[in-house]
């Protein structure tokens, strides 16, 4: 075992001993993390930054006086660890959370998971990774571009998590992703994210994402801009656009979001048509896959929507205890571990329908390939989602008690990034500068669900924590207001 791994293990054991001996601590989780990482940027002029480095650190989530606090530190000396532990304990004590959090003190886990990679991403040299990105960008060599840009990062993560109730799990995860954009000289910017936990295999698959983006950019470049309808419009969404929409909706099924008074939905509510089913699960090799969450719970599938109605919410251990439910491993760690874990979906799977692509576009006026980042209409919701928040889910209720009714909660503007006007189901020109208005009732207007599903991946932010997401979804046809983007 290397010195880096040993220092992480020693720091983790030291913290657990300290927390177990401290009467102020009712429960704590400690994670030791060893990462071998790559970060590189490639533009049309070639590679820019290209670095490989090792990072070690420990994270800790501590329950004190009924509230939780989270810390992460790369400093593994005893003085720094003691400072992080003391700060976490004091923070929990002074939060003055009205309701004490509960945790699982009765089950003990011993588990290991070796990840989903046949070959670890760290086994491939840096120059091979650079070449894979350069080859990918070359798929757009025939296009007139103002700029091409790609950021590739990966991490071979070895993590051990222990708790003061005796649970210990060890996992290995090879997470790699590339964000890239092709800025058309005569059209919009085509931006994509592709990610995987399949290890070195991602380098071989990455070219498909670049080729597909280049093909989409070619279609956009070859389409003349045309006027789009405004007002209530029948819209067909590609599987990728539908996946973005369903990911957005899943945030309203997070229990802490509901406790904060920011969800327009309750369990049992109708959210869509009878043939809409949504499950949150773990797909081996998925960008958002994990074997265990930060609470040492196995990540298991859970049905969120059945026959168009909400069946259950997403929980961590605390909210599951409040709602008499069982946690399914939805306490998702932030990328890099610097910020607290959050209740979040892992890999959403939306059930397929029976409409082929032609039938999906039939009767629609606009076809959306991709959305941009949504903009929340309710100012309170917008501020809370972007702001800091304690890693204590029940504190959300304290915020809700201080707030007023918000009629615009759950409503957002979805800017259209790539879209076409339709005429008889066929593309009849490119539409730019538009936005689709989303309200909580929009999914109920779905009239067709596609038979073909695709997967969209990305990173979203919840209270400053950057979280991976993946959605496998079919295209849908629905009705929503369209207008010029603000």
* The last residue of a domain, from among 197, 222, 247: 222
d(CA 114, CA 133): 27
User: Per residue in 239-276, pLDDT tens?
Assistant: 999 999 999 999 999 999 999 999 999 999 999 999 99
pLDDT(1) > 60: no
Residue 228 C-alpha from the chain's centroid: 31
* Shared domain check, 260 and 212: no
Tell me the pLDDT tens digit for each residue of 92-118.
888 878 787 777 776 778 899 999 999
Angstrom distance (rounded) from CA 123 to CA 286: 19
What length does the chain have? 486
For residues 258 and 396, give the distance between their C-alpha atoms in angstroms, rounded to a whole number: 8
List phi, psi (to 5°) of 222. Answer: -85, -5
Q: How far apart are CA 438 and CA 412, in angstroms?
A: 5
The residue among 396 and 279 whose pLDDT is bigger is: 279
Spatial separation of the C-alpha atoms in residues 265 and 309, rounded to whole Å: 10
What's 261's DSSP letter? Answer: T
Mean pLDDT of 461-476: 97
Segment 114-158, tens digit of pLDDT: 999 999 999 999 999 999 999 999 999 999 999 999 999 999 999
What would the pLDDT profile of 18-66 be if each residue is shown by its tens digit?
A: 999 999 999 999 999 999 999 999 999 999 999 999 999 999 999 998 8
Instruction: Choose the final residue of a domain: 199, 222, 245.
Output: 222
35 lies in the same domain as 121: yes
Give pLDDT, residue 106: 67
Which residue would you say has higher pLDDT here, 1 or 319?
A: 319
- Residue 2, pLDDT > 70, answer no
My answer on whether 41 and 102 are in the same domain is: yes
109 with 257, same domain: the answer is no
Range of the domain at 310: 231-484
User: Per-residue pLDDT tens for 153-196?
Assistant: 999 999 999 999 999 999 999 999 999 999 999 999 999 999 99
Structure-block tokens of residue 424: 């008889």
What is the Cα–Cα distance from 273 to 30, expressed in whole angstroms?
Answer: 43
Model confidence at 408, in pLDDT bands (50, 70, 90)? Answer: confident
SS3 347: strand
- Residue 84 near residue 76 (C-beta atoms within 8 A): no
Asked if 364 and 410 sit in the same domain, the reply is: yes
pLDDT of residue 110: 84
8 A C-beta contact, residue 215 and residue 173: no
pLDDT reported for residue 41: 98
Alpha carbons 339 and 466: distance in angstroms, whole number: 8
Domain containing 61 — which CATH number? 3.30.2290.10
Structure tokens at 113: 């998971």
User: What tens digit of pLDDT does each residue of 72-93 get?
Assistant: 999 999 999 999 999 999 998 8
Q: Are residues 179 and 250 in the same domain?
A: no
Same domain, 218 and 252: no
CA distance 344 to 385: 13
Alpha helices in 330-455 (DSSP H): 357-361, 379-386, 395-401
Are 261 and 203 within one domain? no
Q: What's the mean pLDDT in 198-224?
A: 96
pLDDT at 15: 97
Strand (E) positions, 74-167?
A: 110-113, 145-163
Query: Per the structure block, which two tokens stand in for 127?
Result: 């120059």
Q: How far apart are CA 240 and CA 234, in angstroms?
A: 18
Distance CA 56, CA 69 (A): 21
| 169 strand-pairing partners | 111, 161
Residue 11: pLDDT over 90? yes
Among 435, 325, 432, residue whose Cα is nearest residue 375: 435
Exposure string of 303-322, with b = 16+ CB inside 10 Å and e = fewer, is ebbeebebbbbbbbbbbbbb
Residues 43 and 86 in one domain: yes
Do 400 and 448 lie in one domain? The reply is: yes
Domain count across the chain: 2
Q: Is the pLDDT of residue 12 over 80?
A: yes
* Residue that the structure tokens 């201080």 belong to: 402
337 & 469 share domain: yes
What is the pLDDT confidence band of residue 409, given thresholds at 50, 70 and 90?
confident
Q: What is the DSSP letter of 254?
A: B
What's the pLDDT score for residue 463?
Answer: 94
Contact 255, 317 (CB under 8 A): no
The three-state DSSP-derived secondary structure of 165-189 is: CCCEEEEEEEEEEEEEEEEECCCCE
Same domain, 237 and 195: no
């Amino acid at each position: 075992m290397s010195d880096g791994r040993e220092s992480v293990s020693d720091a983790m054991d030291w913290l657990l001993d300290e927390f177990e001996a401290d009467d102020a601590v009712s429960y704590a989780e400690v994670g030791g993390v060893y990462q071998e990482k790559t970060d590189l940027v490639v533009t049309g002029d070639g590679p820019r930054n290209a670095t490989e480095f090792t990072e070690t650190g420990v994270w800790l989530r501590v329950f004190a006086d009924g509230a939780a606090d989270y810390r992460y530190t790369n400093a593994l000396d005893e003085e720094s660890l003691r400072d992080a532990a003391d700060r976490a304990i004091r923070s929990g004590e002074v939060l003055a959370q009205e309701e004490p959090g509960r945790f699982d003190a009765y089950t003990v886990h011993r588990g290991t998971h070796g990840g989903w990679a046949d070959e670890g991403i760290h086994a491939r040299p840096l120059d091979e990774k650079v070449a894979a990105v350069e080859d990918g960008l070359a798929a757009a060599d025939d296009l007139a571009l103002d700029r091409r840009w790609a950021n590739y990062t990966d991490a071979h993560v070895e993590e051990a998590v222990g708790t003061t109730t005796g649970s210990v799990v060890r996992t290995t995860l090879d997470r790699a992703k590339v964000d890239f954009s092709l800025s058309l000289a005569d059209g919009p910017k085509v931006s994509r994210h592709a990610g995987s936990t399949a290890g070195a295999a991602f380098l071989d698959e990455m070219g498909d994402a670049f080729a597909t983006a280049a093909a989409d950019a070619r279609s956009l470049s070859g389409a003349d801009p045309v006027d789009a309808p405004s007002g209530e419009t029948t819209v067909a969404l590609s599987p990728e656009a539908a996946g973005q929409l369903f990911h957005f909706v899943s945030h309203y099924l997070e229990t802490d979001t509901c406790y904060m008074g920011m969800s327009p939905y309750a369990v049992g509510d109708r959210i869509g048509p009878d043939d809409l089913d949504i499950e949150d699960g773990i797909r081996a090799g998925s960008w958002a896959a994990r074997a265990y969450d930060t609470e040492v719970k196995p990540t298991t599938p859970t049905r969120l929507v059945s026959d168009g109605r909400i069946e259950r919410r997403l929980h961590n251990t605390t909210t599951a205890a409040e709602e008499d439910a069982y946690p399914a491993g939805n306490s998702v760690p932030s990328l890099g571990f610097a910020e607290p874990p959050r209740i979040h979906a892992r890999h959403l799977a939306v059930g397929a329908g029976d409409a082929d692509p032609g039938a999906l576009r039939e009767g629609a006026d606009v076809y959306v390939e991709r959305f941009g980042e949504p903009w929340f209409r309710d100012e309170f919701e917008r501020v809370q989602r972007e702001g800091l928040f304690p890693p204590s889910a029940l504190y959300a209720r304290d915020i809700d008690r201080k707030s007023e009714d918000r009629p615009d909660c759950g409503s957002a503007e979805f800017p259209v990034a790539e879209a076409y006007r339709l005429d008889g189901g066929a593309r009849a020109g490119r539409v730019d500068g538009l936005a689709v208005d989303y309200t909580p009732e929009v999914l109920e207007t779905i009239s067709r669900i596609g038979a073909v599903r695709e997967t969209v991946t990305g990173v979203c932010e919840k209270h400053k924590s950057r979280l991976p997401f993946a959605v496998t979804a079919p295209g849908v046809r629905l009705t929503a207001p369209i207008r010029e983007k603000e």
